[in-house]
Structure 1
Amino acid sequence: MEFFVKSGNPAKQRAGCVIAGVFARRKLSPAAKELDEACKGALSQAMRRGDIEGREGETVVLHGLSGLVCDRVLLVGLGRERDFSDKAYIRATEEAVRAVRKTGAVDAVSYLTDLVVRKRDRRWTVLRAAMASGALGYRFVQCKSKPDPDHSKLNRITFNVPSRSDLAEAEEALRTATALNAGMVLTRDLSNLPGNRCTPTDLANTGRELASSYRSIKTTVLDEKKMENLGMGALLSVSKGSREPATFTVMEYMQGPKKAKPVVLVGKGLTFDAGGISLKPAQAMDEMKYDMCGGAAVFGTMKAVAELGLPINLVGIVPASENLPDGMANKPGDIVTSMSGQTIEILNTDAEGRLLLCDALTYVERNYDPDCVVDMATLTGAVIVALGNHATGVFANQPALAKSLITAGDYMGDRAWELPLWDDYESALRSPFADVANVGGREAGSVTAAVFLHRFARKLRWAHLDIAGTAWTQKPKGATARPVPLLLQFLTQRLHESS
């Protein structure tokens, strides 16, 4: 899908379809009014017939209207004007694009981006429209011998803005959206691949491919021997149960000022998680291919940043392994030594992601002097109990860092919510045999997991994103590419704050 921006009269658009909005109680938006005047009231007549009332998500396609040079007009319901918000805007955009895809239109011009959304600027309306439109065109067909045909002919959408003075801001938003969509496609493709087609080695090769595609990225991959020499006993204890070797991928994008400290992103890359000896139930175990969504998000964010050429220093790290039952696998009660030297009692082998991440955090501390570190992982089912599938759980040892991440997520519709990281929860992780246990009790599982990680990040300005509830959906089943939008906006915000 190609995206463009322009500023022009809707009645003069030579396109397969022109999209305009209708508010509740049959109130035409400004663009719809211009179209209605040009076609001598044909839109008003359609509303009087009851074809559309303006309720959220309604659509109607009108063909061959006299006075217009477009092939068809699509009207979409916006809901009540006084309630027109982010949610209503995104829904209108999605429903409009879905409806156009069902027609024979090859291109469309959307005037929804002309609308005023409460507390949002023009950059936001164009950016979010392009994001929503791009997501609707995503298809995962890599594993089908005969992919289902895509009957849609739509391959080009132009977003209109009210004034030529808005074009520069809109074009910048479109450039961001295009790069973001590319990163999100990579993240979704990696996440949707099954475990036999996306192994730890495959993830490492993705890092190498990014370095080949972008001169701004330098990739280093540590094998198990190098990890052993570094003392990554926690990470390697997980991979012992698998015939697939673990990998540790480090991507450096150093395009900012030489003296500027980098932001480091760390993503859990568990390419399949059967739970190890603490075997998961069979139901929905296939979804454990998604346990590497944190790592996939790091790859997608690196790609988006490189596409944009952002002038920042960024490091992406993906520790990767499988977690399977085997004679060499971790056993409940085993004690392993992490790269930091802290010993960990394995009470539950299904709490393995934190074992990968803790060694990665120590690696970051020893090899970089980061401005901040953000790790992301499908870490706990408990975060779904707390927040459902709408919000990512945020834990941070710096309030300003948590606020910045949450603000970025709100802007991009990739919402997040802060949960506590209090010392009170450390007692749940006490072990009589080791420095720390890898799990606490049933209570506050997502919090105790974050508290565990914080033991290895105390010297860092650090945040943890638990994306177990947001990284994929079940109906329809598929990866969402979250939190790539949040992360890209977070990095962009930092640029604006420093300029």
Structure 2
Amino acid sequence: MDFDLKTLGLAGAAGEKTDALVVLVMQGGAGGKDAVSQLQSQAVKAGDLEAKPGSLLQAWRHPGVAAARVLLAGCGDGTGAQVRTAVQAAVAALRGSRVKRLAIVLPAQAGDDAVRAAVVTAADASYSYVTTKSKAEGRKLEHVTIGVANADASRQAFEQATATVKGIELAKEWANRPPNHATPTLLGEAARALAKEHGFGCEVLGPKEVAKLGMGSFMAVAQGSEEPLRFIVLKYNGAGKGDAPVVLVGKGITFDTGGISIKPSAEMDEMKFDMGGAASVLGAFRAVADLQPAINLVGLIPSCENMPDGRSVKPGDVVTSMSGQTIEILNTDAEGRLILCDALSYAERFKPKAVVDIATLTGACVVALGGVRSGMFASDDDLAQALQSAGDAALDPCWRMPLDDEYAEGLKTNFADVANVAGRAGGAVVAAKFLQRFTKAYPWGHLDVAGTAWKGGAAKGSTGRPVGLLVEFIMGQQGEPQPKPARKARRSGKQTGR
């Protein structure tokens, strides 16, 4: 989809040549004497339209308006969150139409958050997956004009939003693909293609190279699959050679049966989304390609399948991770942490400013936070605040969870340095405590996106989250001072829940 930004008020909107015109109506919004303003003021006065976010009023061939379709959409106080609701409702109402060109006129008072929300939501609401369909029509909406009071003032927010859309849609594409169309090998090829097109550095390591690195934990998960593992390394250099990079680590389990600890068959098809973290790293790099931030960035993607086979790792097996720590695998369905721990150890070689891993890691996080907020854990308070703020700004929110040492007690075992699971209680926190063992050399953040990376049911599909959060976080890291060495997180459960 193409976007453009235009200085466009209600008077100009009346003459805008487009298939459909969406006008966002704020509480107390004043109108002029043009046809669109009069339609808006008369509808509000008659009680046919409220400024409540999501309320709609449609008009067809309204006198004085060039667009055949006009939608007035309430957007409340005009903040990003309420603009998102309004645009979502408006674009959804147009999905069955033949509209290819759309203009969305924001209130004159709208800020950068509203511009970002309008762009990202218009793309999301009109998205269609087509790659493996034989007769796919694809997206009908082709071009969206965003009308604002001052295009020059909104340009930066607009450009970040359009870059974010490209990243989100790349993440959706790879997460939505069936598992036989998104193997570790194909994911590696996608990373190479992305790097070649946009000038990134890229290495894709196979089983021999990973074995040489001593990634015994990663290899243990992969050994039950006929598909060979891949370890993907992406590099973007936008700052000085001596500037410490930010490292993103994405869980890339392209299909998760649970291994020997096999999952129930119901909805197992959704385990193709278990590489949502990897997809979000690819998406973040796609956005960075357009934005060119003054930052050094590394992306690490350990990718494999988790399958049951005569060669599969068994409950009770002990493996040696890249860090040298031994791990007793008590549950083969807790495989994500086993591939991530070796990638987190590999990240040390970059002497990073910060490392953030993104993983569809635990069902426990879905129970705790549902599909609204991603779970966020951090060993560093400044990093936690940066992630929290980025999520809020991107309307891709997260919620900080605790890292008290007591949560790691259940990971003790008589047969290795650490077990990969404990009991059911606090499962998302226990998983984070396992990962934390491998992150002592740098500030570390962990995003558990098991509840937010995809939707099930009739709306089944990838959400592209948390690409928006990651892009906002990356842009906020430009020119920041180097952080102090990683320090222990606060033990109070101050920000842990509702």
Q: TM-score, normalised by structure 2?
A: 0.91
**2:4 corresponding residue in structure 1:** 4
The aligned residue for residue 111 of structure 1 is 105
Question: Kindly, what percent of the aligned residue pairs are identical?
Answer: 44
Aligned counterparts of 2:254 and 2:332: Cα–Cα separation in 1: 16
Q: Verify: 1:135 aligned to 2:90, yes or no.
A: no
> Matches of residues 267-278 of structure 1 in structure 2 within 5 Å?
267-278=250-261
Once the two structures are superposed, what CA deviation does each residue of 1:102-140 show, in whole Å capped at 9, x if it has no partner?
555443332225344xxxxx3222122111111122111
1:497 is displaced (CA, Å) by 4.5
Pairwise mapping of residues 75-224 of structure 1 onto structure 2 (< 5 A)? 75-79=72-76, 81=77, 85-116=79-110, 122-147=111-136, 152=140, 154-163=141-150, 167-215=151-199, 217-224=200-207
Structure 1 residues 383 and 423: alpha-carbon distance in aligned structure 2, compared to 1, 3 A threshold: same
Describe the superposition over 1:13-49 as per-residue Cα deviations: whole angstroms up to 9, x where unpaired: 322333223456xx5x33xx22x54479444444566
| Aligned partner (choices 417, 430, 443) of residue 412 of structure 2 | 430
Structure 1 CA distance, aligned partners of 2:91 and 2:333?
42
Task: Within 5 Å, give how 1:83-482 maps onto structure 2.
Answer: 85-116=79-110, 122-147=111-136, 152=140, 154-163=141-150, 167-215=151-199, 217-365=200-348, 367-475=349-457, 476-482=459-465
CA contact (8 A) 2:207 2:228 kept: yes
1:101 Cα deviation after fit: 4.6
- C-alpha separation in 2, matches of 1:225 and 1:431: 30
Is the 8 Å Cα contact of residues 261 and 313 (structure 1) preserved in structure 2?
yes
Distance 2:225 2:37 in 1: 70
1:74 maps to: 71
Q: Residue 161 of structure 1 aligns to which amino acid in structure 2?
A: V
**Mapped contact 1:15–1:108 kept (Cα < 8 A):** no
The change in CA–CA distance for 1:191 and 1:113 in structure 2 (over 3 A counts) is: farther
C-alpha distance 362-279 of structure 1, shift in aligned 2 (>3 A): same
Specify whether residues 41 and 9 from structure 1 end up closer, same or farther in structure 2 by C-alpha distance, changes over 3 A only.
closer
- Rounded Cα–Cα distance in structure 1 between residues aligned with 2:183 and 2:229: 9
* CA shift for structure 1 position 496: 6.1
Q: 1:210 & 1:218 partners in 2: Cα distance?
A: 10
Instruction: Please say if residues 130 and 138 of structure 2, whose CA atoms lie closer than 8 Å, have aligned partners that are also in contact.
Output: no
Counterparts of 2:82 and 2:426 in 1: how far apart (Å)? 34
Paired letter, 1:380: T
What are structure 2's unaligned runs of at least 5 residues? 483-498
Q: Which AA in structure 1 matches 2:113?
A: W
Distance (whole Å) between structure 2 residues aligned to residue 219 and residue 376 of structure 1: 19
SS at match of 1:283: coil
* Letter of the 1:390 counterpart: V
SS at match of 1:344: strand
Long gaps (5+) in structure 1 = 117-121
Shift of 1:342: 0.6
Equivalent residues of 2:9, 2:147 under 8 A apart: no
Paired residues of 2:92 and 2:126 also in contact (CA < 8 A): no
The 1:45/1:176 distance shift into structure 2, 3 A limit, reads closer
Query: Partner amino acid for 1:468?
Result: A
TM-score by length of 1: 0.91
Answer yes or no: is the 8 Å Cα contact 2:9–2:149 preserved in 1.
Answer: no
Contact 2:251/2:278 (CA < 8 Å) preserved in 1?
yes
Cα distance, 1:100 vs structure 2: 4.2
Structure 2: distance between partners of 1:289 and 1:191: 7
Q: Indicate the SS of the match to 1:129.
A: helix
For residue 119 of structure 1, what is the aligned residue in structure 2?
none
Question: 1:15 corresponds to which residue?
Answer: 17
* Cα distance in 2 between the residues matched to 1:158 and 1:141: 24
CA distance in 1, matches of 2:44, 2:160: 37
Counterpart Cα distance in 1 of 2:37 and 2:73? 20
For the structure 1 residues 161 and 498, does the alpha-carbon distance in structure 2 shift closer, same or farther, using more than 3 Å as the test? farther
- CA-to-aligned-CA distance 1:175-220 (integer Å, 9 cap, x gap): 21221111111111100111111111111111111121112x0111
Q: State how far apart, in whole Å, the 1-side matches of 2:184 and 2:39 are.
A: 59
What is the CA distance between 1:423 and its match in structure 2? Answer: 1.2
Q: CA deviation at 1:86?
A: 3.7
Does structure 1 retain, via aligned residues, the 8 Å contact 2:83–2:117? no
Report the CA distance shift for 1:383/1:168 in structure 2 as closer, same or farther (over 3 A).
Answer: same
**For residues 139-171 of structure 1, what are the alpha-carbon distances to aligned partners after superposition, in whole Å with 9 as ceiling and x for unaligned?**
111111122565x4x4222222223xxx23322
Alignment partners' CA distance in 2, 1:182 and 1:248: 24
Instruction: Identify if the C-alpha distance between structure 1 residues 11 and 270 changes in structure 2 by more than 3 Å, giving closer, same or farther.
Output: same
- Does the aligned pair in 2 maintain the 1:113–1:126 contact within 8 Å? no
- Structure 1: distance between partners of 2:426 and 2:118: 37
Partner residue, 2:487: none
Distance 1:425 1:8, change over 3 A: closer
Cα–Cα, structure 1 residues 73 and 333, in superposed 2: closer, same or farther, change >3 Å? same
**1:201-241, Cα deviation, whole Å (9 max, x unpaired):** 111111111121112x0111111111111111100011111
Provide the rounded CA distance (Å) in 2 between the counterparts of 1:342 and 1:316.
24
Call closer, same or farther: CA 1:281–1:4 in 2, change over 3 Å. Answer: same
Letter in 1 for 2:178: P
Mapped partners of 2:37, 2:118: distance in 1: 29
Cα distance between partner residues in 2 of 1:169 and 1:5: 11
Q: Which amino acid aligns with 2:59?
A: L
Partner of 1:57: 54
After superposition, the Cα gap between the structure-2 partners of 1:191 and 1:8, relative to the gap in structure 1 and judged at 3 Å, is closer
| Cα pair distance change 1:72/1:399, threshold 3 Å | same
1:80-110 C-alpha deviation (Å, 9 max, x unpaired): x5xx544322111222233345555443332
**Count of matched residue positions in the alignment of Structure 1 and Structure 2:** 478
Are residues 113 and 327 of structure 1, via their aligned partners in 2, closer, same or farther at CA, if it must alter by over 3 Å? farther
Q: CA RMSD in A?
A: 2.1
Partner letter of residue 93 of structure 1? V
**Any conservation in 2 of the 1:428–1:441 contact (CA below 8 Å)?**
yes
